[in-house]
Structure 1
């Protein structure tokens, strides 16, 4: 059955490919971007089932207006995809507070505010599916992108809690955790800190250079990712977390092993922290 999708950050990357995929499958879609001219080519071929929506997720008035526009056009919202986001490169000590706060405003608070705007519609419907684009960096920390990791860890925890709050209302939540994909994330969508501290040359700087050098050569295919996301939405039992990419699977499994190792090694100390029975 045709669904109404509301997708943020559609000018490039996952958002763009996902919008194209869901429309090609016969769904209806609100294709959102800060500049609607960037998505006109997507909606042009679907005059009856697609609208371009102006949305900067850091502007509450635009969030409210965009949500109302979608509701007025389609009458409902079945799937919300919080895709808008940015990156930032720099060791934690090197990172500029203003840039870090800006990233949190987009990646965390913007995502939460869009969700809060859509939730009343989904609650009234007693149905809906919220997909939050996080990252394998929301499960595993990496040098050189520590504050980016912090935003995506926040998205992961927020989404897990949200899933437990809205499940009784018929609303599903899925966290999308990609590894390296050929999007613009490591290009113009991520700034560098101008501050460099030599002590981090072999950790933060080395990883930053590796990621930058890999841009455009990542193994992840955004088109295949879009198809995988649609598959999850169409599933009767969608996952809470959907890893995308072999590197994401490997990183998550390594993290599980490390967690188990620490938990097991320190089990006696952990248990000893409670009052005696």
Structure 2
């Protein structure tokens, strides 16, 4: 049976790949972007099966309007994909407070806003999927992306906790945690990197240089990721977290091993704080 999707950030990257796949496979789509002129070709190609909506996810009012419009046009909503996101690479100390806040608002509260609007619809239906695009950076942090990591850690935790709240209503929630995808994400993230203060050069310089060397050579295929996400929308059971990409898997595996080692090293201290009645 055909499903109705709402995907944020459809203009490029993973969102665009997923939008094209959803429509090619016969489902219906509320395609959203801050610039819907970049989505006109989808409307021309797929007609009434796609509705375009200009959406700034940082606005609760706009997010509510997008969900209401999807239900008005298509009669229901089956899959919400929170895909909108970006990063600016640079030291926290060299990041303006307003820029930091905007990154958090977009990457995390954008997810909160659309989910808050969609959840009553899905709960009433007793069915639906909320698929949140987090990141491997939502499990293992990296220097130079403090705001992004903070937001993606929040997305991953939000998704897991919410899944435990709404699963009984037939609503499934999952955090997708990809590695580097071959999109414009890396180049855009590096576009605003400031000249590093001398103290930060040995800390962040290698990360910035590595990022520049992989632009256009990222290992992750957005079309293959889109196919996995589409398949999830037909599954009865989902994990709370799904890692996508060998680079993400290795990074998270190494990081979790290091966390476990550190936890064991400090175990005596951790256990020393209980009452001993």
TM-score normalized by the length of structure 2:
0.95
Post-superposition, which runs of at least 4 consecutive aligned residues in structure 1 deviate over 4 A?
none
8 Å CA contact retained: 1:141, 1:149 = yes
User: Structure 1 residue 116 and structure 2 residue 131: aligned?
Assistant: no
User: Structure 1 residue 38 and structure 2 residue 33: aligned?
Assistant: no
The alpha-carbon distance between structure 1 residues 5 and 189, as it changes in their structure 2 partners (threshold 3 A), is farther
Unaligned residue ranges in structure 2 (runs of 5+):
none
Which aligned pairs between 1:1-277 and structure 2 lie closer than 5 A?
A: 1-188=1-188, 191-194=191-194, 196-277=196-277
The alpha-carbon distance between structure 1 residues 221 and 230, as it changes in their structure 2 partners (threshold 3 A), is same
Q: State how far apart, in whole Å, the 1-side matches of 2:21 and 2:43 are.
A: 12
RMSD: 1.5
Aligned length: 277
The alpha-carbon distance between structure 1 residues 76 and 161, as it changes in their structure 2 partners (threshold 3 A), is same
Unaligned residue ranges in structure 1 (runs of 5+):
none
8 Å CA contact retained: 1:179, 1:245 = yes
TM-score normalized by the length of structure 1:
0.95
Deviations 1:145-179 (A, max 9, x none): 12211111111111111111111111111101110
8 Å CA contact retained: 1:176, 1:241 = yes
CA-CA distance at 1:190 after TM superposition: 5.8
Partner SS state of residue 88, structure 2: strand
Partner SS state of residue 66, structure 2: helix
Deviations 1:29-60 (A, max 9, x none): 11111111111112322113111111111223
8 Å CA contact retained: 1:96, 1:193 = no
CA-CA distance at 1:124 after TM superposition: 0.9
CA-CA distance at 1:195 after TM superposition: 5.6
Deviates more, 1:267-276 or 1:119-128: 267-276
Partner SS state of residue 181, structure 2: coil
Deviations 1:63-92 (A, max 9, x none): 222111101011111100000111111112
Q: State how far apart, in whole Å, the 2-side matches of 1:247 and 1:159 are.
A: 22
